[in-house]
């Protein structure tokens, strides 16, 4: 079973992702409400993939992405962004994100994106 870490400051978004993926062969190993907690959880839990919001308090998703990639160059991070954040999405891809998902998204698209990144 593949392990996923959800990093998003909106609790409803973390819950939505968890609910969307519960019927698939993906274990949600942790949830973090900002990038600094997400980074610490990544180091502790070593998930197979991370969904990372871009705009968060304390440490942004892009800052957390850079720190995770510095810690583990093989990390698989999928950025999750709202409409209108195209510049930040491009920056996150340059910084090592595997791909991005634009909010709002459907369950099938979320699962297909994660599957593609994981190669399953």
pLDDT > 70 fraction of the chain, expressed in percent and rounded? 98
pLDDT level of residue 84 (50, 70, 90 thresholds): low
Closest CA to 13 of 40, 28, 42, 33: 33
Total-model pTM: 0.95
| Mean pLDDT across the chain | 95
Reply yes or no on whether the pLDDT at 86 is more than 90: no
Domain boundaries, the chain: 2-118
Q: Determine whether 18 is exposed, middle or buried from the number of CB atoms within 10 Å of its CB (0-12, 13-18, 19+).
A: middle
pLDDT at 81: 86
> Around 87, how many Cα atoms within 13 Å sit in the side-chain half-sphere?
0
If you average pLDDT over residues 111-116, what whole number do you get? 97
pLDDT > 90 fraction of the chain, expressed in percent and rounded? 86
Report the CATH superfamily, name and number, of domain 2-118: Response regulator (3.40.50.2300)
Strand, coil or helix: what is 48?
A: coil
Tokens of 9: 């400051």
Reply yes or no on whether the pLDDT at 46 is more than 90: yes
pLDDT level of residue 28 (50, 70, 90 thresholds): very high
């Amino acid at each position: 079973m593949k392990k996923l870490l959800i990093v998003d400051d909106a609790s409803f978004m973390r819950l939505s992702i968890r609910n969307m993926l519960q019927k698939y062969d993906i274990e949600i190993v942790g949830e973090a409400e900002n990038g600094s907690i997400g980074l610490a959880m990544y180091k502790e839990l070593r998930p197979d993939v991370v969904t990372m919001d871009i705009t968060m308090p304390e440490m942004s998703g892009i800052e957390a992405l850079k720190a995770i990639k510095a810690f583990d160059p093989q990390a698989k991070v999928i950025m999750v962004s709202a409409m209108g954040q195209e510049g930040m999405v491009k920056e996150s891809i340059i910084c090592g994100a595997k791909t991005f998902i634009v909010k709002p998204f459907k369950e099938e698209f979320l699962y297909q994106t994660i599957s593609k990144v994981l190669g399953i």
